[in-house]
């Protein structure tokens, strides 16, 4: 009986001492598990030939909309544009989508989106036109230091080439 009491006391002490450590680790991991939206971060550098680069809005200031769907998070651009961010290897996954904004979908506009990590091309959308679904991407970026988003015209000049980067986010 005495052994059972001693064993019980030891188990209670271990659990009592371990719980604060467990909760500290759990809460730290859950804090880091939240995605970080790119539109909530300031770019380190950007260039855009026409219009204004806008976070969570189109380049004209309207809601981001591609193929009839409205997106609350993203970046509105006009071709030709380059947007750069320093990542310093903090993230694991970069995901999102890209498409031609509905405001110019009937204009014949075409765009192409490129994503570079540490100056290496890792994603090319192909030509995007109006009223088609956005192109989605999910990219492993472990250890990457620099992100560059490029919006090109579709090969026919940049008239009405309003590109929307949609729900861009980093996963830790």
- The pLDDT, as a whole number, for residue 5 is 76
Please tell me whether residues 51 and 12 are part of one structural domain.
no
Please tell me whether residues 160 and 131 are part of one structural domain.
yes
DSSP string, 31-55: HHTS-EEGGGS--SEEEESSS--EE
- Domain tally, the chain: 2
**With contact defined as beta carbons under 8 Å apart, do 161 and 68 qualify?**
no
Please tell me whether residues 21 and 94 are part of one structural domain.
no
- The pLDDT, as a whole number, for residue 47 is 97
Please tell me whether residues 97 and 165 are part of one structural domain.
yes
Mean pLDDT by 10 residues, the chain (172 residues): 73 63 53 84 96 96 97 97 95 97 96 97 97 97 97 92 97 90
Please tell me whether residues 7 and 27 are part of one structural domain.
yes
- The pLDDT, as a whole number, for residue 2 is 75
Find the domain containing 162 and state its range: 36-171
- 155: nearest Cα among 121, 97, 108: 108
Q: What is the CATH number of the domain that holds 156?
A: 2.60.120.1060
């Amino acid at each position: 009986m005495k052994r059972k009491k001693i064993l019980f006391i030891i188990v209670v002490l271990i659990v009592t001492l371990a719980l604060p450590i467990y909760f500290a680790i759990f809460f730290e991991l859950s804090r880091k598990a939240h995605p970080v939206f790119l539109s909530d971060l300031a770019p380190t550098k950007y260039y855009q030939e026409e219009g204004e680069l806008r976070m969570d809005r189109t380049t004209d200031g309207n809601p981001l909309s591609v193929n009839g769907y409205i997106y609350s998070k993203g970046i509105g651009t006009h071709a030709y544009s380059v947007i750069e961010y320093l990542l310093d290897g903090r993230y694991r996954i970069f995901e999102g989508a890209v498409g031609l904004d509905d405001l110019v979908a009937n204009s014949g506009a075409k765009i192409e989106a490129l994503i570079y990590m540490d100056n290496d091309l890792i994603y090319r959308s192909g030509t995007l036109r109006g009223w088609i679904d956005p192109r989605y991407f999910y990219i492993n970026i472990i250890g990457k230091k620099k992100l560059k988003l490029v919006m090109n015209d579709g090969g026919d000049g940049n008239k009405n080439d309003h590109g929307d980067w949609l729900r861009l986010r980093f996963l830790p």
